[in-house]
A and B are shown apart, each in its own frame.
Chain A
């Protein structure tokens, strides 16, 4: 079974702090994704990566950056957290050249005070 793990299940940070969310997958997948999920808005793509050291902006990249130094690990960085970044953050991975059949991690619920 594909396993996608995220570093924290719950996280509370203060406005202005730098926040790192880590995601690791164990299936040698090329593609990794970061989403945020908010009630009534579904899942919105923040950034994605199709290879090591490669990144592409998703639909809502503002205020975020990412890092992919190793194939199995994809990090989401909030340079200066703000209250409107309070959300559920979901990481996903998929194999091959397809964005289909994404496997999701359990999510990190981030609260910014």
Chain B
């Protein structure tokens, strides 16, 4: 089967750093993406890791270890507006094409 595991909820305070982990088990793997979704909003793309290592985009960083089937999203200098759900997604082959397989999402609550 194909599965992605990520924590259901994370709580942090403004200004802090939080790490959201994602482990995956899929038949085939091309890369790991992260999406953010605010309540009532559409998911929006945050980052993509196709190779091992760290990718940094402003306050957000994403890491991938293909040998461990593991990745994480790191959010620094947390702000209230970062309160949202975060989804990891594996890009995997599907019948000659490829698709995204999403985790169940991690709900991040940032408190003052």
Contacts and interface: CB of A to CB of B under 8 A. Distances in A.
A43 interface: yes
Given A42-B87, A50-B97, A56-B94, A101 B45 contact: yes
Interface residues of A, number: 26
A13 interface: no
Of the four ranges (under 10, 10 to 19, 20 to 34, 35 or more), the interface on chain B belongs to 20 to 34
10 contacts: A40-B8, A42-B105, A43-B87, A43-B89, A43-B102, A56-B97, A99-B97, A99-B100, A100-B45, A103-B45
Interface string A85-113: 00000101000001111111111000000
Contacts of A4: 42
Given A33-B99, A99-B99, A107-B42, 9 more contacts: A41-B104, A42-B104, A45-B101, A50-B97, A56-B94, A56-B95, A58-B94, A101-B48, A104-B44
A74 interface: no
B102 A44 contact: yes
B41 interface: yes
Contacts of B44: 104
B45 A40 contact: no
Contacts of B101: 45, 59
Given A41-B104, A43-B102, A100 B48 contact: yes
Nearest to A103: B45
Interface string A59-92: 1000000000000000000000000000000101
B91 A105 contact: no
A100 B33 contact: yes
Contacts of A42: 4, 87, 102-105
A16 B95 CA distance: 32
Contact of B42 (A45, A48, A99, A105): A105
Interface in B35-72: 41-45, 48
